[in-house]
Chain A
Amino acid sequence: MYDSSPRPVDEVEAVVHRYGDMLFRLCYVMLGNEADAEDAVQETFISYLRNTPTFKEAEHEKAWLITTAKNKCRDALRLRRRRPQISLEDLREPSYEPPDSSDSGILEALMSLPEKFRLVLILHYVDEYRVEDIARIIEKTPSAVKMRLQKGRRLLEEKYRKEYL
């Protein structure tokens, strides 16, 4: 459902505080650098303001934001493929440096996976979404999500063992 009246400023601030980290994590893992992740998060919240959707439950709001952020990331990746502006080396080396070196290895391994696996792995293992909910968010069947989770998990472990252990 969409409401035409703009959201008050304090509500926007509250939403950014509530979901900002979660969306930033998702966008960062999808896009591989802080600047692009910031842009995607910003565009997601701006879409939220422009469309002013109303939700019955907070979970629906969160799912809407995730879906929108995922689409913004895909737009950014598409644009990057069409107009590459940074070297592949830059894409491989994330600007974010987690304090723990094993965390850094896991993150790098995760970010080296194809985008479709990254998304389901984060939603399931980090944001603890159920397979059915992920299926709704990414508009796939639950069995397709299960397959992606299995394959993504296997690829991630292989990559991590091979390059970071």
Chain B
Amino acid sequence: MDSKELKRAVQNIKMSDEIRDRVIKSCQSEISAPKENTARKTSYVSRPAILIAAVICLGLAATVVAAGNMGLFKDIVRFDGTVVGTAYEQAPGEIEASAAIAGSELTVTAVITKEDILPYRELENLGIDSFRVVDSKGNAVFKGGRTEMYEIDGGKAEIKIFLPDIAAGSYQAIIDAFVGGKKADQTLLINGEWECEFTV
């Protein structure tokens, strides 16, 4: 194949009259259409308006920072998009947990630090939804599901967990979620992560 053959093959490609007409028409309609004003618009914004906007922004920023320390409600959504419940997220700072063991019974004491806000001011009892116990090397020695619900009294609930015999040593109970309850109401998952050390 020489370059003349290549040239001939490519030059056989021609724009059909139909395509040419369409291109010309679209170019003509482009000319006749009103030209978009692309010039940069200068606008005047008054200084007081800028100040007010800055104050609002600062207020919003402060609110966001404050809200950052608090938990938040979140819908529990089923696979098909249906909302099936509500959970409360990022709550570790609102509940203080500690643990102590006596025999086979581990008592987790949950102290609510923000009793006056929702959801805590409405809650009547509290349990643990899921937890695990790990040894000093980080190996899980026990995993547990939802416990019974225990009454919140004076902002405090003592949750009892039965543990099978475990060897003497230092352990950590890691709680992934609490569950809050109120009479005649659906339970509320309170998600976070709480670590409580105890020694057998």
Specify which of A20, A25, A98 is in contact with B23 (CB 8 Å cutoff).
A20
| Contact of A9 with B by CB under 8 A | yes
User: Interface residues of B: mostly helix, strand, loop or mixed?
Assistant: helix
How far, in whole Å, are A20 and B31 apart by their CA atoms in the complex? 18
How far, in whole Å, are A126 and B6 apart by their CA atoms in the complex? 7
**Count of residues in A whose CB is under 8 Å from the partner chain:** 38
In contact, A160 and B1 (Cβ under 8 angstroms) = yes
| Contact of B69 with A by CB under 8 A | no
| Contact of B45 with A by CB under 8 A | no
How far, in whole Å, are A41 and B19 apart by their CA atoms in the complex? 10
CB distance from A95 to the nearest CB of B (A): 11
In contact, A103 and B26 (Cβ under 8 angstroms) = no
| Contact of A80 with B by CB under 8 A | no
In contact, A20 and B22 (Cβ under 8 angstroms) = no
For A9, list chain B residues within 8 Å (CB): 28, 31
In contact, A13 and B5 (Cβ under 8 angstroms) = no
* Cβ-closest chain B residue relative to A153: B3
| Contact of B35 with A by CB under 8 A | yes
| Contact of B9 with A by CB under 8 A | yes
In contact, A96 and B26 (Cβ under 8 angstroms) = no
A45-53, A59-67, A83-91, A131-139: which lies at the interface: A45-53
In contact, B28 and A103 (Cβ under 8 angstroms) = no
Known: A28-B13, A102-B5, A125-B6. A16 touches B31 (CB 8 A): no
Q: Which A residues, 3 to 28, have Cβ-Cβ distances below 8 Å to chain B? A: 6-7, 9, 12-13, 16-17, 20-21, 24-25, 28
| Contact of A155 with B by CB under 8 A | no
CB distance from B35 to the nearest CB of A (A): 7
In contact, B13 and A13 (Cβ under 8 angstroms) = no
Q: Which B residues, 8 to 52, have Cβ-Cβ distances below 8 Å to chain A? A: 8-15, 19-20, 22-24, 26-28, 30-31, 35
How far, in whole Å, are A29 and B10 apart by their CA atoms in the complex? 8
In contact, B6 and A121 (Cβ under 8 angstroms) = yes
In contact, B30 and A46 (Cβ under 8 angstroms) = yes
For B22, list chain A residues within 8 Å (CB): 38, 42
* Cβ-closest chain B residue relative to A108: B9
Known: A9-B31, A20-B15, A98-B13. A106 touches B5 (CB 8 A): yes
In contact, B9 and A98 (Cβ under 8 angstroms) = yes
In contact, A50 and B12 (Cβ under 8 angstroms) = no
Known: A7-B31, A16-B20, A156-B1. A21 touches B15 (CB 8 A): yes
| Contact of A120 with B by CB under 8 A | no
* Cβ-closest chain A residue relative to B38: A50
* Cβ-closest chain B residue relative to A44: B23
* Cβ-closest chain A residue relative to B3: A125
| Contact of A157 with B by CB under 8 A | yes
* Chain A residues within CB distance 8 Å of chain B: 6-7, 9, 12-13, 16-17, 20-21, 24-25, 28-29, 34, 38, 41-42, 45-46, 49-50, 96, 98-100, 102-104, 106-107, 110, 121-122, 125-126, 156-157, 160
- 5 nearest A-B pairs in the assembled complex, by CB-CB distance: A103-B9, A24-B15, A106-B9, A98-B12, A126-B10
